Structure 1
Amino acid sequence: MGKVVAGWARQIAEAELGNALPRRWAHTQGVAARAVEVGRVLGKYGELLIAAATLHDVGYAPRLAATGFHPLDGARFLRDEHGADERLVRLVANHSFALLEAEERGLRETLEAEFPLLEEPLLVDALVYCDMTTTPDGGRTSAEKRVTEILGRYGDDSVVGRFIRRAAPEIFAAVGRVEKALAAQPR
Structure 2
Amino acid sequence: MNEAMAKWACALAEAELREPLPRRWAHSQGVAHRAAVVSGVVGDHAELLASAAVLHDVGYAPRLALTGFHPLDGARFLRDVHDADERLVRLVANHSSALLEAEERGLRKVLEAEFPLLDDQQLVDALVYCDMTTTPDGEVTSVDARLAEITARYGSDSVVGRFIRRAAPDIMAGVGRVEAALAAQPR
TM over 0.5: yes
- CA distances 1:31-65 after superposition (whole Å, capped 9, x unpaired): 00000110111111111000000100000000000
The whole-number CA distance in structure 1 between the counterparts of 2:169 and 2:118 is: 20
Does the alignment pair 1:26 with 2:16? Answer: no
CA RMSD, aligned part only? Answer: 0.4
The whole-number CA distance in structure 2 between the counterparts of 1:149 and 1:64 is: 25
Q: Which residue of 2 aligns with 1:110?
A: 110
Query: How many Å apart are 1:125 and its aligned residue?
Result: 0.3
Query: How many Å apart are 1:2 and its aligned residue?
Result: 1.0
SS at match of 2:81: helix
The whole-number CA distance in structure 2 between the counterparts of 1:42 and 1:183 is: 14
Q: Which residue of 1 aligns with 2:93?
A: 93
The whole-number CA distance in structure 1 between the counterparts of 2:114 and 2:36 is: 28
Q: Which residue of 2 aligns with 1:168?
A: 168
SS at match of 1:62: coil
Query: How many Å apart are 1:115 and its aligned residue?
Result: 0.1
TM-score normalized with structure 2 length:
0.99
Q: Which residue of 2 aligns with 1:66?
A: 66
Q: Which residue of 1 aligns with 2:77?
A: 77
Q: Which residue of 2 aligns with 1:134?
A: 134
Number of residue-to-residue matches in the alignment: 187
- CA distances 1:102-132 after superposition (whole Å, capped 9, x unpaired): 0000000000000000000000000000000
TM-score normalized with structure 1 length:
0.99
Q: Which amino acid aligns with 1:73?
A: D
The whole-number CA distance in structure 2 between the counterparts of 1:39 and 1:150 is: 26
Q: Which residue of 2 aligns with 1:15?
A: 15
Q: Which amino acid aligns with 2:139?
A: G
The whole-number CA distance in structure 2 between the counterparts of 1:41 and 1:183 is: 10
User: Which stretches of structure 1, 4 residues or longer, exceed 3 Å deviation after superposition?
Assistant: none
Does the alignment pair 1:49 with 2:61? Answer: no
The whole-number CA distance in structure 1 between the counterparts of 2:166 and 2:148 is: 13
The whole-number CA distance in structure 2 between the counterparts of 1:52 and 1:2 is: 13
Q: Which amino acid aligns with 1:33?
A: H
Q: Which residue of 1 aligns with 2:122?
A: 122
Query: How many Å apart are 1:139 and its aligned residue?
Result: 0.2
